[in-house]
Amino acid sequence: MNYQRAVSVSRFILILLCIGLLVSVAVFGFSIGEKGMEGVFEEGTITLGLDLAGGSSITYQANTEDTGETLNTGMNSVLSVMRQRLDSQGLTEANAFRVGDDMVTVEIPSVSDPAKAAETLMATAVLTFRDYDKNILLEGNDVKSAKDFYTDSDGDGDAEYIVELTFNESGVNKFTDATKAAAQATDDNYKKIYIYMDEALISAPSVESRYAETGITGGTCIISGSFDAESAAALAGQINAGALKYTLSNVDQRTIGATLGEKSLTTSLKAGAFGIILVMLFLIIYYRVPGLMASVSLIAYMAVFAIILVVVKANLTLPGIAGIILSIGMAVDANVVIFERVKEEIKLGKSAKAAVEAGHHHALSAVIDSNVTTLIAAGVLYFLGAGTIKGFAITLGLGVIISMFSAIFLTHWLLRICLGMGISDIRFYGVNKDKTEKTRKFHFINNKKITYIIVGVVLITGLLSFVIRGFNLDIDFSGGSQLDINLGVEVTPDVCDQINSMIENNIGANYVSSTKASLTDNNVAVIRTGTAVLSIDQQQTLNESLKGAFPDANFEDVEYQSISPIIGDSLKRTAVLAVILAVVLMLAYIWYRFQLLSGLSAIICLMHDLFVMLILYSLFQIPVNSNIIAALLTILGYSINASIVVFDRVRENKTKFGAEKSFGDTVDISIKQTLARSANTSLTTLLTIGMVYIFGVDSIKNFALPIIVGLCAGLFSSLFLAGLLWVEGERIFKNRKKATK
């Protein structure tokens, strides 16, 4: 009696503990809206990317024909100059790094005027000292250092901003000779030393006649003029940095307001919290005690994930958060595979304890194989992607690794604890006392005509859409400029026409592309200015025009992108290469783990799923941007998971049934046995990514929707197409083999 009471108390405590953890997740989710970004991410923990913290990312390409080591040395020099200029402007949190062979990317968080920062960084900063006839007397490399001061340099009682130059050994003599010649001149124009930055005259100080015999000695001089604190500091910084090795072209510029970034973070975290709660509720209702333990394991999974992000000082981006949320849904995948196998073992007559052990043992290979394919996709994204796409790959890959550990070890250990506490009634494990399994009469293989008709309709629909509607290439691929800004008024067709007229009149008719309202806010205008990239002056002209026409416009909540067609072409090549490489690697792995025919069947299914996603992009004219690479590879990894679980069961049943059943019947039985798993894993992942779509900002909505459609396509192909293609392949192969005998 005491033992039973202890068991009951233990159950009660365990349930309270798990419910408490679930409630804490819910409270966390609801508190995000009140605390905001600062309440969740404290300084010194997880670094927020520019799309969440706000700021600008600018990529420059060198205009040069240099190659090999010469180019490498030159670009390292450019990188060094960029870093010095960032420091000279007080942008100590900014980062500069090389991209490819001839490009440098500069990331500037929380910059208030990105256009001005870009202009300063691109300046060639060629400093020259000239006479009245523009003969060069000294050059920038004769200057040792430059410092800006606010001082009364003339002793007249009026302080001003100045720049003090200190010359190196060669510069001292040149400057002395130049000032001596100027002091001896009789014409006032020739008494001056003209200081140019590139071809812009920045100062023209006169040399007093008292220096006619000796010139100015001492190795220093002062540049004075119409400086303010910012311009004096910028000039000193440019002089110290020296001249850039190459002239640079701004080929990619992205800016997002800090408030807009915080909003993106808040909505994404809300989406994650709600998605987690829904997944946990589903697990508990459907699988009962195993679902409760999986929920506890999932909380531990999130805690470990957060710790790793803090330790490695991860740069968290908006697609990165989407990757985390998606990986949470996928983390449940392994648990569902195991729990469904446990239920099968119970229905075979085993006790709950024996079923838990057998279920984990038999499901292990399917869990490992399915997650390895997702890791392949994440790996390809990491090595071929850049920026936010690389962040997505890191979070997705980390999520898969941690989820495997939590499902294989932690959930298993928690279930053993429950069994040790006497929680062994099969009803607690999702199985009713009546263990009779309902027979599913639908035959997936024999009804292949239905499958072929559906696939045929999809194929024809897609081809027609591609021909008639084509694709809506975003500026990531087409090049051009785009500005998203809250105008403070509803963006009606008349407002759009007004903005387009404004662009035509102030910038040029060839820059008029389109203006529309945002998907999530009718006051936000999305302004496209054709495939040509706006210059810094054109950006400022557009901003001033908008300020005049819409005085309530919020320029702190602005998102701006300007991308050269060169970058777009590079992204296209990357997208194609990433998909091809991922497909080849997955085919090789499946061939190794199963056989070639199953691998080819899986690859055809992948092509089907990707084709369905592309149809969605075409039919609904969803902007095709760099996120499509992550979306396509995510579906590649996830879709093949479902096929692998079916294939794993086919391999097991082939050994079990032998010649007793035909291969078609074996495949059909395997599909039916894994049907619940396929449906439930798709549902849990849809719950999380669905919340991302519901709560997300425009860019993340356009990322989540294709994944949702791809998940549905993957469920269809794994149930109706993968096994059927394998059976058809076996039949064709056997017929050819007979014909050759």
Domain locations in the chain?
Answer: 2-43+258-429, 55-123+247-256, 127-241, 448-470+568-740, 480-563
Architecture of domain 127-241: 2-Layer Sandwich (3.30)
Measured CA to CA in angstroms, residue 731 lies from 629, 662, 664 at distances of 36, 11, 9
Report how far residue 456's alpha carbon sits from residue 464's, in angstroms, rounded to the nearest whole number. 12
Per-residue confidence (pLDDT) for residue 245, from 0 to 100 = 66
Could you tell me which of 422, 417, 415 has the C-alpha nearest to residue 360? 415
Whether residue 290 contacts residue 42, with contact meaning beta carbons closer than 8 Å, is answered with no
**CATH T-level fold of 448-470+568-740:** Multidrug efflux transporter AcrB transmembrane fold (1.20.1640)
- Determine how many CB atoms are found less than 10 A away from the CB of residue 439: 6
**Residue 473 carries which DSSP code?**
B
Per-residue confidence (pLDDT) for residue 114, from 0 to 100 = 57
Angle, CA 607 vertex, CA 602 and CA 609 arms, to 5°:
95
Whether residue 634 contacts residue 396, with contact meaning beta carbons closer than 8 Å, is answered with yes
- Determine how many CB atoms are found less than 10 A away from the CB of residue 394: 23
Q: From the first residue on, what is the mean pLDDT of each consecutive set of 10 residues in the chain (741 residues)? A: 49 52 48 44 59 76 85 78 69 74 80 59 69 87 80 72 84 89 90 78 81 86 76 70 69 72 74 84 89 86 78 70 71 83 88 89 82 82 71 78 82 86 84 62 84 92 92 80 87 90 86 82 85 78 87 79 73 76 81 80 87 90 77 75 82 84 89 86 84 78 83 90 89 68 55
Class of domain 480-563: alpha beta
Whether residue 126 contacts residue 239, with contact meaning beta carbons closer than 8 Å, is answered with no
Per-residue confidence (pLDDT) for residue 36, from 0 to 100 = 45
Per-residue confidence (pLDDT) for residue 27, from 0 to 100 = 47
Per-residue confidence (pLDDT) for residue 33, from 0 to 100 = 42
Whether residue 342 contacts residue 291, with contact meaning beta carbons closer than 8 Å, is answered with no
Residue 560 parent element (H or E): strand 554-563
Question: For 126-129, which contacts have Cβ atoms below 8 Å and span 24 or more sequence positions?
Answer: 126/197, 126/198, 126/243, 127/195, 127/196, 127/197, 127/238, 127/239, 127/243, 128/195, 128/196, 129/175, 129/178, 129/193, 129/194, 129/195, 129/196
Per-residue confidence (pLDDT) for residue 468, from 0 to 100 = 93
Residue where the block lists tokens 């999305």: 526
Determine the straight-line distance between the first and last CA of the chain, rounded to whole angstroms.
74
- Contacts for 2 with CB less than 8 Å, ≥ 6 apart: none
Per-residue confidence (pLDDT) for residue 35, from 0 to 100 = 45
Report how far residue 727's alpha carbon sits from residue 651's, in angstroms, rounded to the nearest whole number. 13
Per-residue confidence (pLDDT) for residue 8, from 0 to 100 = 53
**Residue 141 carries which DSSP code?**
G
Per-residue confidence (pLDDT) for residue 481, from 0 to 100 = 83
Class of domain 2-43+258-429: mainly alpha
The token pair that represents 373 in the structure block: 């394919």
Per-residue confidence (pLDDT) for residue 615, from 0 to 100 = 92
Per-residue confidence (pLDDT) for residue 3, from 0 to 100 = 45
Residue where the block lists tokens 């096994």: 723
Per-residue confidence (pLDDT) for residue 30, from 0 to 100 = 46
Could you tell me which of 429, 434, 374 has the C-alpha nearest to residue 589? 374
Could you tell me which of 710, 720, 719 has the C-alpha nearest to residue 635? 710
pTM for the predicted model, two decimal places: 0.69
Same CATH fold, 55-123+247-256 and 2-43+258-429? Answer: no
Per-residue confidence (pLDDT) for residue 42, from 0 to 100 = 46
Measured CA to CA in angstroms, residue 138 lies from 170, 197, 220, 268, 310 at distances of 10, 12, 13, 56, 51
Report how far residue 102's alpha carbon sits from residue 279's, in angstroms, rounded to the nearest whole number. 46
Secondary structure class of 571 (helix, strand, coil) = helix
- Determine how many CB atoms are found less than 10 A away from the CB of residue 103: 21
The token pair that represents 136 in the structure block: 């060069």
**CATH T-level fold of 55-123+247-256:** Alpha-Beta Plaits (3.30.70)
Per-residue confidence (pLDDT) for residue 574, from 0 to 100 = 75
